[in-house]
Amino acid sequence: MEIRKSSADLYAAYKEIAQKAADLNNASAVLGWDQEVYMPSKGFEMRGRQLATLASLAHEMLTSEQYGNLLNELAGRGDIADDEKRNVELSLEDYDKNKKLSAAFVEAIAQQTSASYNAWIQSRKENKYSIYAPHLDKMIALKKQQADMYGYEKHPYDALLDEYEKGANVQLLDAVFGDVKKQLPPLLDKIKQAQQVDDSFFMRHYPKQQQWDFSVDVLRAMGYDFEAGRQDMSEHPFTTSFAPTDVRVTTRVDENNYASLLWSTIHEGGHALYEQGLPIEQYGLPLGAAASLGIHESQSRLWENNVGRGRAFWQYFYPKLQQYFPQQLGDVSVDSFYKGMNKVAPSLIRTEADEVTYHFHVLIRYEIEKGLISGELFTEDLPETWNAMYDTYLGVSATDDKTGVLQDVHWAHGSFGYFPTYSLGSFYAAQFYGQAVKEIATLGDDITNGKLTGLTDWLRGKVHVHGRRHTSEELCKQITGKGLDFNIFMQYAQQKYAGIYGL
């Protein structure tokens, strides 16, 4: 006679497999962090092998027949708790999706990611796109194959978008970026006609150590736990998490441009707070993971822009910054500093762009990605296409590859479908921050007095604690009473820049 296992036993078996796979993926993340921060240049080939092995093992665990049987049996049980039920539902969705990819394909992607990243680093060093192009071409071929394996109804890019923003598709994003193309240019034109603000003081010499020390002060004030994380330097700032108890950020420094380090640190700090705020008891399970990259980006952009580029924040922090840099900022008022940090001007570098022009940078990448995946664009044409789009949307054009098509690491990582989440995140951020202002009566005064953890606590309760329980739109409706509304971002931007530029 067959003895039917209890739901508790089945759930424990499911949880053990999911968490062991998470252990493998997080071990990969440690190796990935090391690759971008400390690894010697000769290590790339073997690191690629190591990452591929771990990715393949994790994939095998999460696509095994045993795992699938556990999920399907649990899904049919009616006696498990709500959190357990949601974990099973989401894991079953992931399982069905992962089953579409072979272990050999997962290994090939991991190996190509390491090779592409190495080529991107070399290309940036030599300022030659031609070194990177053949590796990018191989990555695009793999991503097209992945889209075909997943399947899609209308556009192959839809299959890749779903990896980062569940439910998003070309139709939805075309509408969002249609609003960007329609509503942002008039604001940008008004700003161009106004008297430009002065930000020249950012280009004075700011020693690295003082920049670093102040950025650590800000991270601590935000609530970032240095006993559960650290900050390092990398070619491209990023956040990586191995568990809520170990979440690391990186930044980069330019001693002749103060804006380069600080807002990268605040941005990555916002990502890190989200990861540190995820429920540790749900480690390795869907409810212990972020809702989406759009929501993840909302946390970083909220801290970077709505807080870190806000006047209230600098009422408290500017005198402290002047103590670090008395010679550089002794003759600059807080009002001038605030206006300078929010200067709007078309530029080439996405990560250093202002809040208005930033979304044209994302739009360009979105349109290029769609074309590469659909086969309408080819890698050999990218520098020319890139520059033509920059000229069309922003009226600027790169004079070299490093400030043009080589500036982002995402395609080297195979992250096609990632870029749109940057704009979605900014729009969610404006909506969430507006709601926080309504619900936290003392928020303005708190920020003016350097008390930032009240906002962190609000975000923990509204966003972080839920993990992947809700889609981005569901979460937005739960927090603000409605789905994503681009007009809220526009109202925020118009009000902010009217004050700065006297519009």
- Indicate the fold that domain 170-501 takes in CATH: Neurolysin; domain 3 (1.10.1370)
Cα 29 from Cα 34, distance rounded (Å):
8
For the stretch 63-99, pLDDT in tens is: 999 999 999 999 998 889 999 999 999 999 999 998 8
Nearest to 337 by CA among 306, 307, 309: 309
Would you say residue 235 has pLDDT above 80? Answer: no
> Is a pLDDT exceeding 80 seen at residue 155?
yes
Tell which phi-psi region holds residue 447, choosing left (phi > 0), alpha (psi between -120 and 50) or beta: alpha
User: In the annotation, is 268 catalytic?
Assistant: yes
Q: What was the pLDDT predicted at 1?
A: 40
- Among 36, 84, 107, 268, the one annotated catalytic: 268
Torsion of CA 94, 95, 96, 99, to 10 degrees: 120
* Cβ contact 257:201 at 8 Å: no
Q: Any residues with CB less than 8 A from the CB of 39 and at least 6 apart, and which?
A: 47
The predicted model scores a pTM of 0.90
Give the span between the Cα atoms of 124 and 117, in whole angstroms: 11
Rounded Cα–Cα distance for residues 71 and 62 (Å): 11
Rounded CA gap, 193 and 200, in Å?
A: 19
Residues 411-422 pLDDT 10s:
999 999 999 999
| Domain range annotation of the chain | 7-151, 170-501
pLDDT in tens, 379-390: 999 999 999 999
Contact (CB, 8 A) for 345 and 360: no
For the residues of 42-75, what is the DSSP string, one character each?
GGHHHHHHHHHHHHHHHHHHHT-HHHHHHHHHHH
Tell me the one-letter amino acid at 222.
Answer: M
* pLDDT grade for 4, boundaries at 50, 70 and 90: low
